[in-house]
C-alpha cells in the first residue's frame, strides 16, 4: 500500500468561506512546501502565515457572532471533530475543529504537533552548550505542543479549545456534537472547562 501524501484531508471536504462544503479533489488538496531555502523565502512564508492567521482570526470571530445571533444565546451547540496528518494512531500532527451547529461555520481550530524538524536535528546533542544556545532562540518557535500519544490528540485539542472559548469569543460550547467517540466526549466533559454548574 502506497504512502499517503501530506495534507489535512481525511474528510475530503473543501473549505470555502469558512465553511466545509463540497468534496475536495486530489488536485485541490493544499500543498505545504518543506523546501524553503533562502532567507527571503522563509521571510515571505512567515509573512504569509501572519496574514493568513489574522484573516482566520477575524473570520472565526465573525462566525462566532453569527452563531450567537442565530441561536440568540452565548451558550451554543457545536460539532467537534479531529483529523490527522496521516492515518492510524501514529500521526505527528492533528487538527481539532469546532463548527457552529446552526451556521455550519468554523469557530475554532487547534493544531497539535508532537514533532519539530529543528528539535529532530538536535535530538542527539541535547547535552551540549551549542544546543542550550540554540534552544534559547528556538523555544518560542518550537512546533511541539503535545507530549502525549497521537491517539490522545483529539481530547487534548478539544480541551484547549473549550478552555479558550470564553476568552476568544465570550461563548460556552455547552452542547458537544461529536462523532460518537464516547471516550473523547467523557474526557472533555470531565475536564469541566466552564464555571460550576455548566455541564457539557
Residue 172 CB coordination number (10 Å): 19
Rounded least distance, CB 117 to Zn ion, Å:
8
Instruction: Say how far apart CA 122 and CA 132 lie, in whole Å.
Output: 10
Binding segment for Zn ion among 21-29, 74-82, 85-93, 108-116 (CB under 5 A)?
108-116
Question: Which has the closest alpha carbon to 107: 145, 50, 164, 187?
Answer: 164
Q: Which is nearer to Zn ion, 119 or 166 (CB)?
A: 119
Instruction: Say how far apart CA 44 and CA 35 lie, in whole Å.
Output: 13
92 is a site residue for Zn ion (CB under 5 A): no
101 is a site residue for Zn ion (CB under 5 A): no
* Binding residue (CB under 5 A) for Zn ion from 119, 166, 174, 187: 119
118 is a site residue for Zn ion (CB under 5 A): yes
Q: Find how far residue 139's CA is from the centre of its chain.
A: 20
Assess contact for 153 and 89: CB atoms under 8 A: no
123 is a site residue for Zn ion (CB under 5 A): no
* Binding residue (CB under 5 A) for Zn ion from 70, 92, 111, 116: 116
178 is a site residue for Zn ion (CB under 5 A): no
Q: Which is nearer to Zn ion, 119 or 187 (CB)?
A: 119
Assess contact for 31 and 7: CB atoms under 8 A: yes
Return residues touching Zn ion (CB under 5 A): 116, 118-119, 142
Amino acid at each position: 500500500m502506497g504512502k499517503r501524501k501530506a495534507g489535512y484531508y481525511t474528510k475530503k471536504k473543501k473549505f470555502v468561506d469558512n465553511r466545509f462544503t463540497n468534496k475536495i479533489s486530489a488536485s485541490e488538496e493544499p500543498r505545504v512546501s518543506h523546501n524553503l531555502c533562502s532567507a527571503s523565502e522563509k521571510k515571505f512564508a512567515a509573512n504569509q502565515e501572519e496574514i493568513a492567521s489574522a484573516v482566520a482570526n477575524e473570520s472565526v470571530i465573525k462566525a462566532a457572532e453569527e452563531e450567537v445571533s442565530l441561536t440568540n444565546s452565548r451558550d451554543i451547540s457545536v460539532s467537534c471533530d479531529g483529523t490527522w496528518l496521516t492515518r492510524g494512531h501514529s500521526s505527528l500532527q492533528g487538527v481539532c475543529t469546532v463548527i457552529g451547529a446552526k451556521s455550519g461555520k468554523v469557530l475554532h481550530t487547534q493544531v497539535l504537533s508532537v514533532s519539530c524538524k529543528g528539535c529532530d536535528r538536535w535530538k542527539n546533542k541535547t547535552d551540549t552548550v551549542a544546543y542550550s544556545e540554540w534552544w534559547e532562540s528556538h523555544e518560542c518557535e518550537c512546533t511541539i505542543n503535545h507530549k502525549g500519544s497521537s491517539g490522545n490528540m483529539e481530547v487534548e485539542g478539544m480541551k484547549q479549545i473549550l478552555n479558550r472559548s470564553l476568552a476568544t469569543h465570550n461563548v460556552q460550547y455547552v452542547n458537544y456534537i461529536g462523532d460518537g467517540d464516547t471516550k473523547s466526549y467523557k474526557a472533555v466533559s470531565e475536564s469541566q472547562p466552564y464555571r460550576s454548574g455548566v455541564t457539557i
